[in-house]
Amino acid sequence: MIKYLIASLCLFLSAECISAQHYTYWPIIFEKEPNGVFSFSKKWDYPEGVIKHDDGHFEKTDGKKLEATDTAHMSFTANCKTNVQGGYTIRYCYATRKGSNIHLNFTDGAPAYASKFNATLKNGTFHFEPGIIYPELIPGEKTSYTVTRSKLILYQKNYSVAHMISGYITAEFTETTQNSKKAIHTNKYYLEGYFKTPVN
């Protein structure tokens, strides 16, 4: 009962957040969809390792035979950026439904950039979880992440049953690394941008 009252107060004030397990849940903000921010959804790329030459023919960089799926358009579903690994653009957001919950996954740039950024939407709140993957691991290092700020704006109030979901996300998080000599180093990272993606 006390947790329910705290959660209700949190959503009402939209000023504080509450913790459940090891996640911090933040209130989702609902707004009217702005004009002109989803032009990226009209652009696309081809799967990793597939090149389209100027004369129109396709080639796979690994030399294997082309399949029909190799030339399919991979429509951009996000226009986000992060400063992880020096900074890069994230053009893909994938949404999956599990019951009334929605899971968002932001990813792009493999194999150079294999990190994933996840958000889980539940009962008008959400939690953000970075999944940072570096090309090379250093033996003996222990790394943890703390989300310090997070905001999610959605343009569908009925997101739990919507076939398409769109919005804006911004999050800041701290990476804390401890090496084998117990020395501690921190990095401050962020993810921010718009997304518009079908819900599967």
Q: What are the sequence ranges of the domains in the chain? A: 25-45+75-198
Per-residue pLDDT of the chain (200 residues; tens, 9 = 90+): 444 433 443 433 333 344 334 688 999 999 999 988 999 999 988 767 666 667 767 676 666 777 767 666 679 999 999 999 999 999 999 999 999 999 999 999 888 899 999 999 999 999 999 999 988 777 778 899 999 999 999 999 999 999 999 999 999 999 999 887 788 999 999 999 999 999 99
User: Sign of dihedral through CA atoms 138, 144, 150, 155?
Assistant: positive
Q: Quick count: other Cβ atoms within 10 Å of Cβ 175? A: 16
Report d(CA 199, CA 176) in Å as an integer.
33
Is it true that the peptide bond before 111 is cis, omega within 30 degrees of 0? Answer: yes
Residue 41: name the closest of 193, 156, 182, 173 by CA.
193
Dig out the tokens for 140 from the structure.
């003996």
To the question of pTM greater than 0.75 for the whole model, the response is: yes
pLDDT of residue 140: 78
Report d(CA 57, CA 81) in Å as an integer.
31
